[in-house]
Amino acid sequence: MSHRRSLRVNSLFATATLVLGGLLLTASGSAGATSGARAHTASVLNVHDEGHLRFLHASGSVIIDEGSVSGSFPGSVRVRFLYDGEPEVSAQFTITGRGGSISAHATGRLSSPTSTTPSFSGHMSITGGSGRYAHVHGTGSLYGVYNRRSYALTVQAIGKLPY
């Protein structure tokens, strides 16, 4: 093998080694970042709570109820329920439990608008949190029954919330 050819092969080998080494460093850096990210991966709160709430007061079509909730995120809840006679309803609520609170907004539809206790179901979006749930986000479902005579609500919130 000539000296020039040997130099070119060594040069190609050195270049290939540098490129391969760079790829390995990038891959190990990515793996380190991934494992570092895993160390900081957010927890997930699987919420499946139910509450039987009592009427506090109303103003126009806004009804305020509160009570305790039990399930995976037990605590107390305060709900601002909007019902204006139409099948569409909405609610804003905050569940306060051990370690913090979770606030959400939900929209839904009454299943039987003429019933004295119509049920409703809808989509829930988390709007914020506090304490250990300060960075909570996610979506879920809200189900319930509205008692037109007592203005009481029975609610069930189900969701998967990373925080």
Residue the block writes with tokens 């006679």: 85
For residues 146 and 118, give the distance between their C-alpha atoms in angstroms, rounded to a whole number. 6
State CA 32 to chain mean position distance: 27
Secondary structure element (H or E) that encloses residue 138, with its range: none
Looking at residue 76, its pLDDT comes to: 97
**Would you give the DSSP letter of residue 40?**
T
Give the percent of the chain with pLDDT over 70: 74
Q: Which amino acid is at 35?
A: S
- Structural domain boundaries of the chain? 1-41, 44-162
Looking at residue 41, its pLDDT comes to: 53
Secondary structure element (H or E) that encloses residue 9, with its range: helix 3-39
Looking at residue 44, its pLDDT comes to: 87
Q: Which amino acid is at 125?
A: S
Q: Is the dihedral of CA 68, 70, 72, 74 positive or negative?
A: positive
Looking at residue 95, its pLDDT comes to: 94
Instruction: Report angle CA 79, 155, 80 to the nearest 5 degrees.
Output: 15
Q: Could you report the per-residue pLDDT of 37-54, keeping only the tens digit for each? A: 344 456 888 889 999 999
Q: Could you report the per-residue pLDDT of 83-95, keeping only the tens digit for each? A: 998 999 999 999 9
Looking at residue 45, its pLDDT comes to: 83
Using alpha carbons, select from 151, 152, 93, 163 the residue that is nearest to residue 122.
93
Among the four given CATH numbers 2.20.28, 2.60.40, 2.40.350, 1.25.10, the one describing domain 44-162: 2.40.350
